[in-house]
Amino acid sequence: MDEPGQAEAKVYVALPEKSKEGKYILSWVLNNFSNDSIKIIITHVHIPAQMIPMMGTKFPASQLSPHQVNLYRKEEWEKAEKHLNDYISQCSRARFKVEKLMFVSDDVAHGLVELISLHGMINFVMGAASDRRYSKGMTEVKSNTSKFVMEKADPSCQISFICKGHLVCTREAILPPRNLSQSASMPTETKRQNVFPRNSSFDVSNSRGGMTPGFLPRSPIRPSRLHSDNYSIDFSEGTIRSDAASSIASEDVYSNCDLLSMNDDFEVRSLHEPRLESQGSTRDQGTLAEVCAKLQAALADSGKYRVQLNEEICKREKAEMDLASLIQQEEETKSALIKEKQEMEFLHKQELEMVQRQLDLLQEEYKKLQEDRENAVKEGVLHKQEIKIVQNKLDLLQEEHINLQNERDNAVKEAEELRCSSGRGSHVPFSEFFLLELEQATENFSNSHKIGEGGFGSVYKGFLRNTMVAIKMLHPQSLQGKPEFEQEVAVLSTMRHPNLVTLIGICSEKSALIYEFLPNGSLEDRLACQGGTPPLTWQVRTRIIGEICRALLFLHSNPNPVVHGDLKPANILLDANLVSKLSDFGISRLLMETNTNTLVYRTEYPRGTFAYMDPEFLSSGELTVKSDVYSFGIIILRLLTGKPPTNIAANVEDAIESESLHLIIDESAGEWPFVQAEKLANLGLRCAQMRRRKRPDLESEWKLVESLMHTASLSVSPSFKSQLDDKGIPSYFMCPILQEVMKDPHVAADGYTYEAEAIKGWLDSGHGTSPMTNLPLHHQELTPNYALRSAIQEWLLNHP
């Protein structure tokens, strides 16, 4: 500060290191003061970082060496000065006199209050709040920092609070300015403590006092109070001063010379002789001897600390070597286990390849015989007897082909079971189909069999191995189809649930997926009443919400949680009883645990359907279970209102606030009980919150959803009640003949699944019609339904 009598009008402006808000504050000062009457003091409180970046991560300052911390904080300080120079340039262009004042503190608010008191400021300007919180009617400060300064700052200082270039309010001075003569009587260096004039040399301290000038004061002063770490760092030398040494230097040694490095060969005489000569003092030699004794004791303690430090370093190095040895042993053990697993997999792979080669040879022979037969029939050169022989051969080959196919399926099943026993995870068995079978089932992928089409390819309906199925064919030009195909197989082959679509098998030749056929299409089609179908009742919609919630809970609570990632009505399919099943897991992801114990999947290219995508996933690329919760909330609101997904959450929220929710409920679903509709609306809004942390966990909401399902079931028709028995067993687990849970389900020619023993008894008793439709059966062959059997077994394990 200037000496009394030489002071000029000063305006202190508190500015952040690098912020658009800081330029707004400075612009207000430049526009409201004259450049020939004041000097602008740019004031900045610098907070040293406590986490130091190093080797791609961040470490606490206490875990690094003082030299490393010193180097980083010097670089940090230089960056702060460089950014503040932009403010100086702005003032210089406006022809204002300007100075820079920087202060180090652990807290901005406390630092500003301390600066105001230290410099006896009478005119101070700072921000009132962040710019994005500014409004025209704003009359009071918003940020915690500005509130603290307004309350705690010296009452003799007038403080102007600015936001986005506008004066929000002014705290007038309620006391006259402090007597500057009293301030001037204080030691000059005391007033300059913690202040860094431009281009001055300095030391940086981890104490609360922050940074001190690069010289010792002439007159005796008390050292500033210490906080945080107990050492100080000199940027120019990279040396460390312990508490003992720095304390003695602060209290008992005062000199005109530069700062002294406390080395082992330091001589007390050389420290004090210049001071005695310059001042001509006759200080008591006893005091000098006492100072020397204290310095020597401090140096002795420093030597002891060095020995202790070296011992600790040796112990740490030994511990690190032991840890490295243990890690190496663990890696060797893992390598041996992996090698053993690879050898086992290689043997099974060879067996599978051998069976596959036999199947390929038989298929080629079968095609050749079929071509010969067709040519012979066309040319008319074969007699009936020869045709019969060829037919018999074809039948034998076909029977052998089926047997080999079953053997291959059994081999795949055994391989999967072996993988399970070796710790690689459980896989649900599914069949491998040939392209020829798919072509026969769909009449060479005729358009009459096509039931859907998308960016990935087309979906066909077909009758495959006596079962009605849906076949999803990958489009040859789809760039992302192959990874999505592999991801869907990876997910659906490791889990089964009544509300997840069942994967029956795959065709690797054409990257095709074969699912159970769900005759009622997607939930999107039913909401649009496509094909003239009747609207879904409010009871069915409530049950579908519960089923989706149950499926998401199953996916999220797995040992390796799965996020669907593209949850929307188009990917929710309905079976003959309008039971919903999640499908299309092509972009689903397994979550990985981060160093913050958070399950998350990160990507630079978020994918999905925009109206149902988590806003935070779009902005950050982080996919979590809460992303599915957001999509679930939008689906709830769609089922409730029947309206498009865009801005649906805002519309429902406005309706609730204006007490007009009954006006936007979908009337085509029937007469919703208002309490039921209101609970669903609030649940949907909670799930569709923009901020991920505000969305609920589905597990905590399950009791509410379950009670809503129960309420809806009380007023539902008998056809719906028949889907679940008193114990909650899904209806498709029950044998239509025995009315018991099936143990060995088989598919008959009518497309229905029965208990093997029951349907065989029906056929053996002379019946030639379907037990369900009473229509004639085209044949009496039965096909095992492995997928359904696996789902039943899994359900029974979870519901003993």
Cα–Cα distance for residue pair 578/496, rounded to 1 Å: 19
Judging by beta carbons within 10 Å of its beta carbon (0-12, 13-18, 19+), is residue 168 exposed, middle or buried? buried
CA distances from 221 to 117, 187, 218 (A): 18, 8, 9
639-668 as b/e, with b when 16 or more CB fall inside 10 Å?
bbbbeebeebbeebbebeeeeebeebbbee
DSSP H helices in 258-284? 268-279
Check if the beta carbon of residue 2 is closer than 8 Å to that of residue 8.
yes
Characterise 793 by phi-psi region: left (phi > 0), alpha (psi -120 to 50), beta (else). Answer: alpha
Cα–Cα distance for residue pair 270/290, rounded to 1 Å: 16
Q: Which of 154, 234, 566, 666 is labelled catalytic?
A: 566
Question: Does 142 carry a binding-site annotation?
Answer: no
Coil, strand, or helix at residue 2? coil
Beta-carbon neighbour count of residue 627 at 10 Å?
A: 28
Judging by beta carbons within 10 Å of its beta carbon (0-12, 13-18, 19+), is residue 586 exposed, middle or buried? buried
Residue 521 structure tokens: 């299409």
Taking the CA atoms of the chain, what radius of gyration do you get in angstroms?
40
Residue 298 main-chain phi, psi, to 5 deg: -65, -40
User: Quick check: is 566 catalytic?
Assistant: yes
Cα–Cα distance for residue pair 604/620, rounded to 1 Å: 8
Cα–Cα distance for residue pair 495/242, rounded to 1 Å: 62
- Listed as own residue / partner, the contacts of 352-361 with beta carbons closer than 8 Å and 24 or more positions apart are 352/408, 352/411, 352/412, 352/415, 355/404, 355/407, 355/408, 355/411, 356/408, 358/404, 359/401, 359/404, 359/405, 359/408
Check if the beta carbon of residue 50 is closer than 8 Å to that of residue 40.
no
Cα–Cα distance for residue pair 393/386, rounded to 1 Å: 11
SS3 content of the chain, % helix, strand, coil (to 5): 50, 15, 35
Check if the beta carbon of residue 615 is closer than 8 Å to that of residue 690.
yes
Check if the beta carbon of residue 504 is closer than 8 Å to that of residue 430.
yes
Q: Beta strand 232-233 with 211-213: parallel, antiparallel or unpaired?
A: unpaired
Check if the beta carbon of residue 230 is closer than 8 Å to that of residue 243.
yes
Check if the beta carbon of residue 541 is closer than 8 Å to that of residue 501.
no
Using the Cα atoms of residue 669, residue 673, residue 676 and residue 678 in order, give the sign of their dihedral: positive
The alpha carbon torsion through 655, 656, 659, 661 (nearest 10 deg) reads 60
User: What string of DSSP letters covers 35-78?
Assistant: TTT-EEEEEEEE---SEEEETTEEEEGGGS-HHHHHHHHHHHHH
- Alpha carbon 361 to its chain's center: 50
Cα–Cα distance for residue pair 529/152, rounded to 1 Å: 67
Q: Which residues are the active-site residues? A: 566
Specify binding-site residues for ATP.
472
Residues comprising the binding site? 472
